[in-house]
Amino acid sequence: MAKVIDFKYDKPTWCPGCGDYTVLAAMQQACVGLGLEPEQVCCVSGIGCAGKIAQHFGGYGFHSLHGRSIPTATGIKLANQELVVIAAGGDGDGYGIGLGHSLHAMRRNIDITYIVMDNHIYGLTTGKLSPNSQKGFKTKTSPKGSAEDPIRPVEMAIVTGSSFVAQAFSGNVKQMVSIFEQGIKHKGFSLINVFSPCVTFNKVNTYDWFKEHIVNMDEDESFDPTNRMDALRRVHEVESVCTGVIYREERPAFHETMLGASETAGVHLDLDLAEEEMQSLIDQFRR
Amino acid sequence: MAKVIDFKYDKPTWCPGCGDYTVLAAMQQACVGLGLEPEQVCCVSGIGCAGKIAQHFGGYGFHSLHGRSIPTATGIKLANQELVVIAAGGDGDGYGIGLGHSLHAMRRNIDITYIVMDNHIYGLTTGKLSPNSQKGFKTKTSPKGSAEDPIRPVEMAIVTGSSFVAQAFSGNVKQMVSIFEQGIKHKGFSLINVFSPCVTFNKVNTYDWFKEHIVNMDEDESFDPTNRMDALRRVHEVESVCTGVIYREERPAFHETMLGASETAGVHLDLDLAEEEMQSLIDQFRR
Amino acid sequence: MQFCLDTAGTYYLRNSIVRGVHMNKQLTWKVGGAQGEGIDSTGEILATTLNRIGYYIFAYRHFMSLIKGGHTNYKIRISSEPVRYHGDDLQVLVAFDQLSINENLREMNADGVIIYDDKFQAELPEGSAVRLCPVPLTGIAKELGNVIIKNMVAAGASCRLLNLELQPFFEVVEEKFGSKGKDLIERNIKAIQQGYDYMKEHFADEMFQLPTAPQVDRPHLLMTGNEAVGLGALLAGCRFLAAYPITPATEILYWLLENMPNYGGKIVQAEDEIAACIMAIGANYAGVRAMTSTSGPGFSLMMEALGLAGISETPLVIVDVMRGGPSTGLPTKTEQSDINQATYGSHGEMPRIVLAPTTIEECFYYMIDAFNLAERYQCPVIVTSDLYLGMSKQSVDDLDMSRVVIDRGAVVTQEELDQRGQKTYPRYAVTESGISPRPFPGMPHGRFCALSNEHDDTGLEIEDTDGRVAQMDKRFRKLDTFNGGEHVSYKGPEQPDVVLVGFGSTTAQIAEAFAELSSTYSIGHLQIGCVYPFPTEAVRKILAHTKQIFVIENNKTGQLAQMLQQNVGMVDKVEAILKYNGNPFTVRDITTTVRG
Amino acid sequence: MQFCLDTAGTYYLRNSIVRGVHMNKQLTWKVGGAQGEGIDSTGEILATTLNRIGYYIFAYRHFMSLIKGGHTNYKIRISSEPVRYHGDDLQVLVAFDQLSINENLREMNADGVIIYDDKFQAELPEGSAVRLCPVPLTGIAKELGNVIIKNMVAAGASCRLLNLELQPFFEVVEEKFGSKGKDLIERNIKAIQQGYDYMKEHFADEMFQLPTAPQVDRPHLLMTGNEAVGLGALLAGCRFLAAYPITPATEILYWLLENMPNYGGKIVQAEDEIAACIMAIGANYAGVRAMTSTSGPGFSLMMEALGLAGISETPLVIVDVMRGGPSTGLPTKTEQSDINQATYGSHGEMPRIVLAPTTIEECFYYMIDAFNLAERYQCPVIVTSDLYLGMSKQSVDDLDMSRVVIDRGAVVTQEELDQRGQKTYPRYAVTESGISPRPFPGMPHGRFCALSNEHDDTGLEIEDTDGRVAQMDKRFRKLDTFNGGEHVSYKGPEQPDVVLVGFGSTTAQIAEAFAELSSTYSIGHLQIGCVYPFPTEAVRKILAHTKQIFVIENNKTGQLAQMLQQNVGMVDKVEAILKYNGNPFTVRDITTTVRG
Ligand SMILES: Cc1ncc(C[n+]2csc(CCOP(=O)(O)OP(=O)(O)O)c2C)c(N)n1
Ligand SMILES: Cc1ncc(C[n+]2csc(CCOP(=O)(O)OP(=O)(O)O)c2C)c(N)n1
Ligand code: SF4
Ligand code: SF4
Ligand SMILES: [Mg+2]
Ligand SMILES: [Mg+2]
């Protein structure tokens, strides 16, 4: 059985105190908790501070292009459905440049877990407006405050068909690990938006700010995450600042229902066709 | 005062019976109804059967790239806020390849009217799956039926911050004209999703099908389009097959609040700076 | 280098003009009308039947970017020998409207015959010798209860004009509509028969005599370039396709949709071409041979992804079926204008291979090469077909199964990994060949991170100068052993005065021009099937003593000519013959210019 | 052609090695440490003050793609004459950690001095003559109550070593922190003073003597290439920028964010580079001069949009600040590897112009050219700067305001439209020059449709051959009158044996190498500021009688060399000097190779 150390590779280079450290740790713990071996897990990320996670995670990794973790992960999952595929990256990556991909993967219900390290800012490019920065938020690219409404990832995900939607907080590792485990176990697309503070560039949405504002839905017994409308309502009420499993539904995953769905992972197929097989394919054209 | 004929240019080449004919007609009537002159209106489209509308509309036009009508329209509106900018195109254009742009424009509340001719199919590329095709829908690219959940444009738009959200139907021109007029008058982003049947390739979502299924919210007096949660609930209940104004809110448009917002349209600015002005800009660097 | 052309019999033949029975070694036929009138199916039925009875055919579709209306036509060249081009001239035209006559008359031979629907009054310019045969195509169809089957009436009339037996046509109709019920079959058969009869009765002495059909045990393969690409990919072991619909590449998607799932393959209609290309990269990384297919606009969207495949050393096959550019351009017209982007596109620098199949057969073979090269060199391979090659249909003698060999390149085995027993595998080890073995995710002890950043051997990003140079040099070393010359073909004398040079789909017309010009010139025909890395050595050898070089390209700026000048020099000897009006070359386009 | 270089005084100088007071015509200083330690601000304060007292400085930043940690440094070359390069050598190093010593020692002169933080034990390789000066940088800062101001202590120590007066430094500090309160200012001033005093006390006889500062009434302009681009754009009348953040282009966005809104300009941080580029196209179409700025990955994403601007004949300016590729590559390192993509990128073919400013001043002037050319020729203009040019800071003598001329090209007036009085305007009229006047939306009687499809003169899509050829030819005629030769500069004898050829940012190092080699070789220096259309005539004239051509480029494959070979020939005479390790050229890189 693998241990946390087996899921580590190299020392991360994030700023001290960056929320991404505990996200990585929680991912590692969740994998161990689920009894996974490092080679079974593939972490796919985009570009950004958050995106560096693929390099530091001890499983297979693909540190892809900015905004393109989702199509990369989709290709991997459909090529080898046996792999546990975790896509991970920043809020700019997933809700900005990559927004279209994220949503299409949700409605297809691709069986991947998507962890967004949402710091409401562009970290790696040194503090610029993110699509999830709050209105009025001042950054180097919004010196007078942002004039844009932020993306509402959780509501959007519920509406678009993500079959598992949750939020976590870097300051609450225990809950985060539990949510990661649930998300990974969930068959279908899991969006896990993690409030992961950028201690260097975001001086508003800090650990303290989140601690003060977060509503923990996991602790609310009246809340039923299988009730879509209720989930939408509650999330909107708390202006998205909540943690816990917010919505879940059971729906077949894309690789189970797509054309060509099969038990055998593509990577295990025998590519050499028998002579007759080839001939019969060619003979199709003798029409 | 301009007449409908002034908003016509050339004869459209759509298949006889295509829903797009009445969309064009309704656009023309709405412009006339609002007392607009052709030169005041700019119609921006993407690629697809629907996209050809920009060529046939008698105002200024920009038949842009597949999926890129929204950024084109955004650039135009921000350069000259005096123009009435109508973006228009197919469901593939706006909800498939162009999905990210559509949503970002909504949350920015760019003051344009976006008319999507939603035929649940790719018309111009001769009958392929669209992101808004129904699950199980058979097309040339989904011979065994689609395995994907369709996009839910109206819910998505409400959640993402489109400040005016409506649906119309090619088979009900009167309502369509009224909705177009409201959408154009509305300050901010207006999404108008029009069920515009593709008579050649979509043999399921036909005029008759829509007539049978559409719920007209405009006729429901109990329905209040300023109530966000209620709008979401109702639309979901009818599986998006409804027409009418579904949601509206008042919110400043992007060109009013963005950095550099001003009364003067960019196109009217005098570009020649006085010698001293230039010198003072340069002198900034004597630091 | 190899001589892969065998088009000896396809050169241009002028038919003797004889009224009544025309003797032909080959014949060209065309049907034209508005889109949505069944033009294609008329052509298809003729093409299929003729191929089945042993003729070699080449069929070319002309169509427009709208669904109904406009002008469309379908041309077939029929021969007793292999043909790869639909011919400069036209002998028989079936016209559903006057527009079809106007659009196609200039192509017609003096001895040509036009069958047209007598519901309109055909007009010819004064002095035209072309013979008109009005036939009540719509009339007969209406009588049979369905206006749309006028296309079958037209097929029947054509049969008579070409002096063909009807039985094989009936068989094809039966097969084609088998699932749709007896009624429909019978109606179609009747339509054919009545068209035939009408022609026979009213224009008894209008007849073309086709050459005797070659004896065949079984029909030739009848395939388009796009189908050949699909078949090639499948036999090459491709088991994942992600694509976004676009003319003229879509038939690749169709063919694979129909066939790949049977072999465990998966197909995704992606949300856009960026996603399509990157999904294919993901699948390749995971160990499945994967590709994407597109045309110009989609290809432009893949430029960033191309670099990702390059630096992460992930195999990738992109098929770009070129069409008229720039931008949305001419979606339904052919052009060869993307090879610059294929060669130079994407920021920064990384190895890649650009193959340009020159025939429909090569569309098949090159796909096998493409997948092998992509995995051998762990880099993107771009296959540039075009609308003309992709959508034209041709009788193909046979395909050589022995050329279907799958070489997956340097893949590390589980044994090797176990032996190492390390947590991490140096996926990007700096090797002498530049090629580093790769594990597939899922394999124990094979952990690495693929990266879009510059990286060290296990895939940690680096910014130091030595590591950077080591990786850049390693990547570029990979192609040291690649020989683009294998994808070059030459025909002609050893030291020709004049050489006709082309790449990709222009082969057939150049070959016919070459055959025609050979009698008067010391001339050679050089066809390039790999534009990058440019096969400099092979090309230089052939051109060494040449006095004049004509580079023939379906584009405006002479992209191949520029590559030639860049790599081989000879700036002053090169003259480009360019065509960018949307149509493929005619043989005459070439011979006229060469004759000067 | 023009001689726009005036770097006579910038050639490489070897300093005499004298202990104690070193006499210098110029001096190089560097501070190094971990990212986040205030390295940049140490450099900035020195650069600003030196510039203010009249010196010419050139400052170069070395940094990494992470926010904290790693190694970063800031180098300044100080001279009494204009300098455009930070120099091969290093005389003074301020090291905050041992890594800074390790990374930079090989650059140091034998007479160099290292000031280092005495909280660590500095190590030098055996035999190094470099002199070490431990200073309690952290110690003093801590005493002053804030560890971060160790950078000011370092600045103070440096002042003493360079024998500079403190007063100007204090003034700069006061201005810089003016808004942040007296306390902070005082603490910083104290830190500087104590660093100075410590040096004076402990290393009294270590001192470099700078040349006398030139007398100036007002400071030189101190600007980066990115700032120059921003300023140039604004003065050129640009009033719309859409961009997506990316290193090393972001400072353009910053500068314009600060300044453009004051002139009614609008700025959008787009959701991605596709949107950014297309928003700029939309704004240009609507009549506002608009641009986008990016680096390689973003530029790759703009390839489809590039074609849209091309076929719709919409003016467009794209600034590509190049960085290490391919893919995400080396985000914080310099490279000149995107000119292939700038020249050949996007499928299909359309006219475009690619300018490559060769100095920071030219970043300003070329932006004015870019906007004028884009509107004059109604086509995309790509300006390729790079990280080195974009982020380096230089003292600039002055900018020539008389070169700020706005030419909006062929725009139809309302009068003309009214006179026509038609509903529609033939925006794409086939004119002799290929340039067709354009109305702006909003103008009565000016209606047209801009199209990504091939189109007729008012903007209806067409697919016919004649219309197509007419439009293609029209578009390509536009550049017939463009003379890329205006953006070429040459220095040297009329018939040089050897020519050093570069493009873009390599100017300064080539100029210094040229100056050094001039004494022994018949040598010329040709710098190309326009890579497409390639200035073939101008270049051929210069190279006509040359025996050897060295093409110097910051890339791996020799992109300019290839263009040279393609357009000018001379395949055999060309030797490429290439560097792709992420760093800019040194003078020695060039001289060593030329000397052979
Ligand atoms: C196509 C492209 N555009 C821009 C960039 C530059 N870039 C790198 S990371 C980043 C944003 C990072 O923000 P986010 O995704 O929120 O991640 P964070 O750094 O905050 O974790 C950008 C714009 C890029 N690498 N590629
Ligand atoms: C980048 C790019 N990819 C693909 C295409 C091909 N294409 C043209 S229209 C279209 C889809 C049209 O569907 P939709 O937007 O729903 O419009 P409709 O034709 O149904 O009105 C596609 C895929 C293109 N023009 N550009
Ligand atoms: S800049 Fe922000 S997001 Fe990036 S590593 Fe530092 S704290 Fe984390
Ligand atoms: S194909 Fe469909 S969408 Fe296109 S014009 Fe015809 S009916 Fe309309
Ligand atoms: Mg972020
Ligand atoms: Mg559609």
Of residues C470, C466, C518, the one with CA closest to residue C496: C518
In a domain? residue C402: no
Report pLDDT digits (tens) over D427-484.
999 999 999 999 999 999 999 999 999 999 999 999 999 999 999 999 999 999 998 8
Contact C222, C268 (CB under 8 A): no
Q: How far is D257 from chain A (nearest CA, A)?
A: 7
| In a shared domain, residues D477 and D488 | no
In a domain? residue C8: no
D596: three-class secondary structure by DSSP? coil
Report pLDDT digits (tens) over B166-182.
999 999 999 999 999 99
Residues on chain D touching B287 (C-beta within 8 angstroms): 48, 51-52, 219, 222
Element (H, E) at B169: strand B164-169
Residues on chain A touching C312 (C-beta within 8 angstroms): 62
Q: Scanning every residue of chain D, which has its alpha carbon at the shortest distance from the alpha carbon of B62?
A: D450
Boundary (domain end) residue, out of D180, D209, D238: D209
Ligand 1 pocket mutation, candidates A15, A20, A122, criterion most atoms within 8 A of CB: A122
User: B199 CB less than 6 Å from ligand 4?
Assistant: yes
Query: Is the model's pLDDT at D47 over the cut of 70?
Result: yes
Distance A130 CA to ligand 1 centre (A): 10
Chain B contacts in chain A segment 94-153 (CB below 8 A): 96-100, 103-104, 107-109, 131, 142-144, 147-152
For D68, which DSSP code?
S
Contact A26, A44 (CB under 8 A): no
Tell if the CB–CB gap between B42 and D286 is shorter than 8 Å: yes
- State the CATH number of the domain containing residue D46: 3.40.920.10
Tokens of D455: 């189109």
Distance B196 CA to ligand 4 centre (A): 9
Element (H, E) at A277: helix A275-283
Domain count for chain C, please give it.
Answer: 4
Residues on chain B touching D371 (C-beta within 8 angstroms): none
Residues on chain D touching C310 (C-beta within 8 angstroms): 326-327
Boundary (domain end) residue, out of C481, C506, C527: C481
C213 to A264, C55, C210, C216: CA distances (angstroms): 47, 5, 8, 9
Give the span between the Cα atoms of C251 and C256, in whole angstroms.
Answer: 8
Which chains reach chain A with 3 or more Cβ–Cβ distances below 8 angstroms?
Answer: B, C, D
Element (H, E) at D209: strand D207-209
| In a shared domain, residues D492 and D474 | no
In a domain? residue D11: no
Interface with chain A: mutation pick from C46, C176, C266, C368, highest number of A CBs within 10 Å:
C266
In a domain? residue C10: no
Give the span between the Cα atoms of A128 and B160, in whole angstroms.
Answer: 21
Contact A84, A112 (CB under 8 A): no
Contact A49, A203 (CB under 8 A): no
Q: Residues of chain B with pLDDT > 90: what percent?
A: 99
Report pLDDT digits (tens) over D564-583.
999 998 778 999 999 999 99
Tokens of D516: 């050094």
| In a shared domain, residues C381 and C443 | no
Residues with C-beta less than 6 Å from any ligand 3 atom: A 14-15, 18, 20, 49, 119, 123-124, 198-201; D 67
Tell me what pLDDT residue D181 has: 87
Better pLDDT: D452 or D4: D452
B216 to A34, B24, C109, C457, D94: CA distances (angstroms): 50, 21, 62, 62, 75
- Whether A126 and chain C come into contact, CB under 8 Å, resolves to no
Report pLDDT digits (tens) over D97-135.
999 999 999 999 998 999 999 999 999 999 899 999 999
Dihedral, CA of residue D124, residue D125, residue D126 and residue D127, to nearest 10: -80
Average pLDDT, chain C: 94
Ligand with minimal distance to C243 CA: 2
| In a shared domain, residues D429 and D522 | no
Which positions ≥6 away from A39 have C-beta within 8 Å? A59, A60, C441, C442, C443, C444, C445, C446, C447
- State the CATH number of the domain containing residue C529: 3.40.50.920
In a domain? residue C2: no
Tell if the CB–CB gap between D245 and A122 is shorter than 8 Å: yes
Tokens of C501: 């040079």
Number of CB atoms found within 10 A of residue D446's CB: 26
Residue that has been written with the tokens 């000097």 in this structure: D577
Report pLDDT digits (tens) over D25-40.
789 999 999 998 899 9
| In a shared domain, residues D385 and D515 | no
Report the pLDDT averaged over residues A18-38.
98
- Whether A40 and chain C come into contact, CB under 8 Å, resolves to yes
Residues on chain A touching B253 (C-beta within 8 angstroms): none
Boundary (domain end) residue, out of C451, C481, C511: C481
Contact B86, B43 (CB under 8 A): yes
**Sign of torsion over alpha carbons D220, D222, D224, D230:** negative
Question: What is the residue with the minimal CA distance to atom 3 of ligand 1?
Answer: D298
D346 to C296, C300, D475: CA distances (angstroms): 8, 5, 16
Contact B123, B46 (CB under 8 A): no
| In a shared domain, residues D494 and D464 | no
Which chains reach chain B with 3 or more Cβ–Cβ distances below 8 angstroms?
Answer: A, C, D
> Among B224-233, D209-218, D416-425, which stretch is predicted with the lowest mean pLDDT?
D209-218
Of residues D244, D249, D369, D275, the one with CA closest to residue D315: D369
Q: Residues of chain A with pLDDT > 90: what percent?
A: 99
Under the phi-then-psi rule, with left for phi > 0, alpha for psi from -120 to 50, and beta for the rest, what region is D507? alpha
User: A130 CB less than 6 Å from ligand 1?
Assistant: yes
Better pLDDT: D2 or D212: D212
Residue that has been written with the tokens 């690749």 in this structure: C252
**Sign of torsion over alpha carbons D17, D19, D22, D23:** negative
Q: Scanning every residue of chain C, which has its alpha carbon at the shortest distance from the alpha carbon of D554?
A: C348
| In a shared domain, residues D292 and D361 | yes
Dihedral, CA of residue A14, residue A16, residue A19 and residue A25, to nearest 10: 80
- Whether D287 and chain A come into contact, CB under 8 Å, resolves to no
Give the span between the Cα atoms of C326 and C321, in whole angstroms.
Answer: 14
Tokens of D19: 């202990």
Give the span between the Cα atoms of B4 and B7, in whole angstroms.
Answer: 5
Tokens of C235: 């036999």
- Whether A260 and chain C come into contact, CB under 8 Å, resolves to yes
Contact D283, B266 (CB under 8 A): yes
- State the CATH number of the domain containing residue D348: 3.40.50.970
Tell me what pLDDT residue D21 has: 55
Question: Between β-strands C90-95 and C26-35, what pairing exists: parallel, antiparallel or unpaired?
Answer: parallel
Give the span between the Cα atoms of A81 and C286, in whole angstroms.
Answer: 10
| In a shared domain, residues D239 and D363 | yes
Distance A125 CA to ligand 5 centre (A): 9
Question: What is the residue with the minimal CA distance to atom 2 of ligand 3?
Answer: A198
Distance B200 CA to ligand 4 centre (A): 6
Element (H, E) at B248: strand B242-248
Ligand 4 atom nearest the C-alpha of B19 is 8
Complex ipTM tops 0.90: yes
Ligand with minimal distance to B92 CA: 2
Report pLDDT digits (tens) over A190-239.
999 999 999 999 999 999 999 999 999 999 999 999 999 999 999 999 99
Taken in order of first residue, the domains within chain B and their CATH numbers are: 4-262 (3.40.50.970)
In this prediction, the residues of chain C whose per-residue pLDDT falls under 50 are 1-20
Of residues A63, A65, A20, A57, the one with CA closest to residue A39: A57
- Whether C286 and chain A come into contact, CB under 8 Å, resolves to yes
In a domain? residue D407: no
User: C328 CB less than 6 Å from ligand 2?
Assistant: yes
Ligand 1 pocket mutation, candidates D64, D246, D250, D271, criterion most atoms within 8 A of CB: D246
| In a shared domain, residues D372 and D435 | no
Tell me what pLDDT residue C4 has: 30
Tell me what pLDDT residue C7 has: 34
Of residues C39, B162, A147, the one with CA closest to residue D257: A147
Of residues C73, C70, C72, C111, the one with CA closest to residue C89: C111
| In a shared domain, residues D148 and D30 | yes
| In a shared domain, residues C43 and C188 | yes
Tell me what pLDDT residue C21 has: 55
Tokens of B33: 């109804």
Using CB atoms, pick whichever of D250, D258, D271 lies closest to residue A96: D271
Residues on chain C touching A101 (C-beta within 8 angstroms): 271, 274-275
| In a shared domain, residues D531 and D476 | no
**Sign of torsion over alpha carbons A217, A223, A228, A232:** negative
SS3 content of chain B, % helix, strand, coil (to 5): 40, 15, 45
B177: three-class secondary structure by DSSP? helix
Tell me what pLDDT residue D23 has: 58
Tell me what pLDDT residue C65 has: 83
Which residues are in the CB-under-5-Å shell of ion ligand 5? A 90-91, 119
User: B20 CB less than 6 Å from ligand 4?
Assistant: yes
Tell me what pLDDT residue D16 has: 33
Which positions ≥6 away from D208 have C-beta within 8 Å? D21, D22, D24, D27, D91, D92, D113, D161, D162, D163
Question: Between β-strands C523-528 and C498-503, what pairing exists: parallel, antiparallel or unpaired?
Answer: parallel
Report pLDDT digits (tens) over A141-174.
999 999 999 999 999 999 999 999 999 999 999 9
In a domain? residue C11: no
Distance C242 CA to ligand 1 centre (A): 25
Average pLDDT, chain D: 94
Of residues D166, D182, D478, the one with CA closest to residue D351: D478
| CA angle at A112 for the pair A108 and A115, rounded to the nearest 5° | 115
Tell me what pLDDT residue D483 has: 86
In a domain? residue D399: no
Query: What is the extent of the structural domain holding D584?
Result: 484-595
Helical packing angle, C39-52 and C150-161, nearest 10°: 40
**Main-chain phi, psi angles of C493, to 5 degrees:** -65, 165
Helical packing angle, C39-52 and C167-177, nearest 10°: 120
Contact D184, D222 (CB under 8 A): no
